[in-house]
Amino acid sequence: MLDEEIVCLDNAGRPRFSDLLFHRGAPCFFAFDLLRRNEKDCRSERLIDRKIELRRLLAKKLPPFPVRYADHVDGKGTALFERVCEMDLEGIGAKQKHAPYVSDRESSTWVKILNREYSQKQGREELFERDRHREPVPGWHSCDLACGDLEAVT
């Protein structure tokens, strides 16, 4: 069982939300966490260990296997976020590298940091306007709140 996101990519390799929404293009799955392997629950293990195992498992699959490993950047969250904005991407998901996977929304160990200038947010504004301090939705943050505090960015 993976924690992943499904996207359709354009010719430059960037996600195109409208292509996914209107079924234009082949879907691709970006896996960024391993929750269960066979009968083993991996959620209590550290994120970094789960990612190592995920990378190992996905390396065994031959193209055109539609699941890709979503690599991580250790530290430098603010610089990564700035680059994401320059590339007109939606944002970044950030997780604590030594944390277990927590499904309880109130004790979340991850944040989603959204690019407020993202060009594809039209029609999805309600997702982009949530603010953790106004509406308690764990996982949604601005870069000001989150970039500097996390050790690993996925």
Fold (CATH) for 2-153: D-amino Acid Aminotransferase; Chain A, domain 1 (3.30.470)
What predicted TM-score, i.e. pTM, was given to this entire model? Answer: 0.71
Q: Spell out where the chain has E strands.
A: 2-8, 27-34, 36-37, 40-41, 67-69, 73-74, 91-95, 110-114, 140-141, 152-153
pLDDT one-digit tens code per residue, 36-54: 999 999 999 999 999 999 9
- 48-92 confidence digits (pLDDT tens): 999 999 999 998 876 677 888 998 888 888 999 999 999 999 899
What's the Cα-to-Cα distance from 6 to each of 9, 23, 139, rounded to whole Å? Answer: 10, 12, 18
pLDDT digits (tens, 9 = 90+) for 95-134: 888 999 887 767 777 888 889 998 887 766 555 555 444 4
Query: What is the model's pLDDT at position 46?
Result: 94
C-alpha radius of gyration, the chain, whole number: 16
